[in-house]
């Protein structure tokens, strides 16, 4: 019952925490660029404004796909914070991503179509590292359940440093930050700004943004698992990781999809795979 309560707390609080993190992101980004920047609550103002606008849909399938994307994203975080199976959790996350891609493919816009294709490439880029990370947790604890992994009290970072670094590499993709924001750019100078959401307006676009907030909180919770042996160290490192992603976003120009796919697989093979090999040799 207590675990379900944690999941419900996530459902209620995650959009507020995610929105605040987005506000902090904008402020830090502005300071790095020597600008004043928007107020902390600007992401909430933007979403409320989108909800008040008229929603124009290119076809009748777009809105249901986006709604399913949001629902499955919320369910992903619920399963994680409820302490459920992380294999199931990331499977639901993948389903959410599929609905997002289908929503873009349902449009006739070439920019939306291009964004959907790039999103598929990004899924191919980060999935191998995700699977290796889950296997690493199982090797150490003998369980895929979030509750058992955290309750074990084992300092995962000590046994999975390579896997942590590899997951940190693909985390830039999941946070949609440069240099890996190929499909859903938030930078005005790039050629497909909002590529995958080009034909999405009003409440549809608001749901996409809220789903992104839910996903960010879930991902930061996953990072916390590596340091869950000490709650304060875990919180500190998690916040440091988020700041690092903002720094990377502002320090690097976007790369081509070939570079993203190649380097993500190299990171998965060398950092993640190498860590697993060492585990199977020395940790029995």
pLDDT tens profile 101-130: 888 888 777 778 888 888 888 999 999 999
- Record the pTM: 0.92
What is the 8-class DSSP label of residue 193?
A: B
Residue 20 CA to residue 148 CA, distance in Å, equals: 30
Rounded distance, CA 61 to CA 70, Å?
15
Domain ranges for the chain:
2-282
The full 3-state SS of 149-189, as one line of letters, equals HHHCCCCHHHHCHHHHHHHHHHHHHHCCCCCCCCCCECCCC
Averaged in consecutive runs of 10 residues, what is the pLDDT profile of the chain (284 residues)?
82 94 91 86 90 76 89 95 92 93 82 83 92 93 90 91 95 88 64 67 86 95 93 94 91 83 93 91 74
Alpha helices by DSSP H, listed for the chain, are 2-32, 42-52, 62-81, 86-105, 110-141, 146-151, 156-159, 161-174, 202-225, 231-251, 257-267, 274-282
Instruction: Say what the pLDDT of residue 281 is.
Output: 85
Sign of CA dihedral 130, 136, 141, 144: positive
């Amino acid at each position: 019952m207590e675990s379900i309560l944690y999941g419900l707390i996530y459902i209620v609080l995650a959009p507020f925490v995610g929105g605040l993190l987005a506000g902090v992101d904008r402020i830090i980004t502005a300071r790095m660029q020597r600008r004043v920047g928007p107020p902390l609550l600007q992401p909430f103002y933007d979403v409320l404004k989108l909800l008040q606008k008229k929603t124009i849909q290119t076809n009748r399938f777009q809105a249901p796909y986006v709604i399913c994307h949001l629902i499955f994203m919320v369910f992903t975080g619920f399963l994680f914070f409820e302490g459920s199976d992380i294999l199931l959790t990331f499977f639901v996350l993948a389903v959410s991503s599929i609905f997002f891609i289908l929503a873009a493919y349902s449009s006739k816009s070439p920019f939306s179509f291009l964004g959907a294709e790039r999103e598929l490439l990004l899924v191919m880029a980060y999935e191998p590292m995700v699977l290796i990370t889950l296997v690493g947790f199982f090797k150490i604890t003998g369980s895929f359940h979030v509750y058992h992994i955290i309750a074990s009290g084992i300092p995962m970072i000590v046994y999975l440093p390579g896997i942590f670094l590899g997951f940190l590499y693909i985390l830039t993709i999941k946070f949609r930050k440069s240099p890996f924001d190929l499909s859903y750019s938030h930078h005005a100078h790039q050629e497909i700004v909002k590529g995958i959401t080009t034909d999405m307006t009003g409440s549809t676009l608001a749901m996409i943004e809220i789903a992104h907030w839910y996903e960010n909180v879930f991902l930061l919770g996953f990072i916390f698992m590596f340091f869950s042996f000490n709650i304060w160290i875990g919180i500190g490192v998690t916040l440091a990781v988020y700041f690092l992603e903002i720094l990377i976003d502002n320090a690097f120009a976007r790369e081509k999809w070939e570079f993203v796919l190649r380097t993500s697989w190299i990171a998965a093979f060398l950092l993640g795979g190498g860590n697993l090999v060492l585990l199977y040799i020395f940790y029995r």
